[in-house]
Amino acid sequence: MVDLTPFSPQINLTQPQGTFSNPYLGITNPFPGQWPPPKNSAFPAPVLAVTYDTSNNFKGVSPVNYTWNLMVERQLAGGWLARAGYVGSHGSHGMESIELNPSAYIPGSALGADARRVMPGYSNVTQVSYDVNSSFNSLQLTAERRFRSGMTLLANYTWSKSIDDLPATQAISGPAVAPSSPIPYYLPGRHQYDRGASDCDHRHRFVVSYVYCLPKLANANAFVRTAAGGWQLTGILNYMTGAPITILAGQDQSRTANNSDHANYLGGPVYGEGACGTSVRCVNYLVKSSFGLPAVGTFGNLGKGSVYGPDLFGWDAGLFKEFALYSEKLKMQFRAEFFNLLNRAKFQQSRQLGFIRRIRHHYGRAGSTHRATGIETAVLRIPVPQTGRTIP
């Protein structure tokens, strides 16, 4: 069952004849709906429809992903273990929703979007196709060492690039009447226009994790051994470059009613000052004057994912210790975990930025953040390893 008429009546009113108090003036009000739907259920115009690609007999196609890698590992002097490799993949038959009933651009016309539809009497006609391709290539480096002092160190670096031709305004969650590619399906160059950095593309990522076991102080007195011995320090340092952003026009400049036109790049620096103005709780990021609306009847020249968001850095740390209870048969573990230890701001970013609708409010600047600094502590009672029993 789908979220469409007659199972779930829906009406799109782009130019209603009535007011807000009487929006159904001139059309049949389908509410409240009946269940099960009668055979003479009304389909109020303009009708919304969803269909599957006819090239596969109206059936879905399972996405295919090919992955390959080549790794080299070597033991180095000083107890270091090094690993280097290439990891790549290619995906085919990714799902895309294609608008089969866009509006035609008529220079100088004052007609509404529905009046200019390719198929009059219908609003959106969405076709679910499986024609999206993706590629991923990466260099992955790893270094690891276990020190005699009780420290274990693991460092990983990834240099990668992920590309696909899924429209920037779509996700892969399922068939949906969503903004499709700015370029209508019957014009050439649609996939080339939508080809760009994937939403998950982070060009550089560096992760360091460590575990340091402090001496147990076995020769010290009981108080010192219990209070200062056997502590364990852990941590993860994570740095990665920002995710790609597609800057949208924010309004239907192409007059296709797809509502996914890109902005125009006007030249000059992309990153810089000036977006915040007099706002206090704000960080400048993009230069607003470098972007503008495309001309009417065009789709915008700014590529998908051509701008990247702020870098992300975090350091999470932990402090652990086990205390023996009841003649070593039971142990209590003290655990303290610190998230974002340096209290560094991690700015959230929208992967599509509406240009005109947001330019005066928060376009080009970073304001909201991810989770702030946090501290969590806990005391757990656990069994000694040789018992093999769980104590509630």
pLDDT in tens, 53-106: 877 777 778 889 999 999 999 999 988 999 999 999 999 999 888 999 999 999
Report the pLDDT averaged over residues 213-222: 83
Residue 6, preceding peptide bond in cis (omega within 30° of 0) = yes
pLDDT at 317: 93
Q: Are strands 80-99 and 122-146 parallel, antiparallel or unpaired?
A: antiparallel
pLDDT tens, position by position, 338-383? 888 888 877 666 555 554 344 334 444 555 555 555 555 554 433 4
pLDDT tens, position by position, 179-203? 789 999 999 999 999 999 998 899 9
User: What is the Cα–Cα distance from 159 to 225, expressed in whole angstroms?
Assistant: 45
Provide the pLDDT confidence category of residue 159 given band limits of 50, 70 and 90: very high
**Is the full-model pTM beyond 0.95?**
no
Better pLDDT: 363 or 281: 281
pLDDT at 19: 83
pLDDT at 179: 77
> What's the burial of 57, exposed, middle or buried (CB within 10 Å: 0-12/13-18/19+)?
exposed
Q: What share of the chain is helix, strand, coil (3-state, %, to 5)?
A: 10, 40, 50
User: Where is average pLDDT lowest: 54-58, 122-126, 150-154, 286-290?
Assistant: 54-58
Q: Nearest-CA neighbor of 82 among 27, 156, 137, 148?
A: 156
User: Where is average pLDDT lowest: 164-168, 214-218, 291-295?
Assistant: 214-218
DSSP 8-state secondary structure symbol assigned to residue 286: B
Q: Are strands 374-383 and 80-99 parallel, antiparallel or unpaired?
A: unpaired
pLDDT at 327: 63
pLDDT at 357: 40
Report the pLDDT averaged over residues 270-281: 75
User: Where is average pLDDT lowest: 3-7, 229-233, 292-296?
Assistant: 3-7
The phi, psi pair for 73, rounded to 5°, reads -125, 140
Residue 141 pLDDT exceeds 80 = yes
3-state SS, residue 224 = helix
Q: Nearest-CA neighbor of 91 among 69, 62, 52, 116?
A: 62
pLDDT tens, position by position, 15-53? 677 888 888 887 777 777 777 777 777 666 666 777 778
Q: Where are the alpha helices (DSSP H) in 45-165?
A: none
Write down the mean pLDDT value for the chain.
Answer: 81
pLDDT at 7: 60
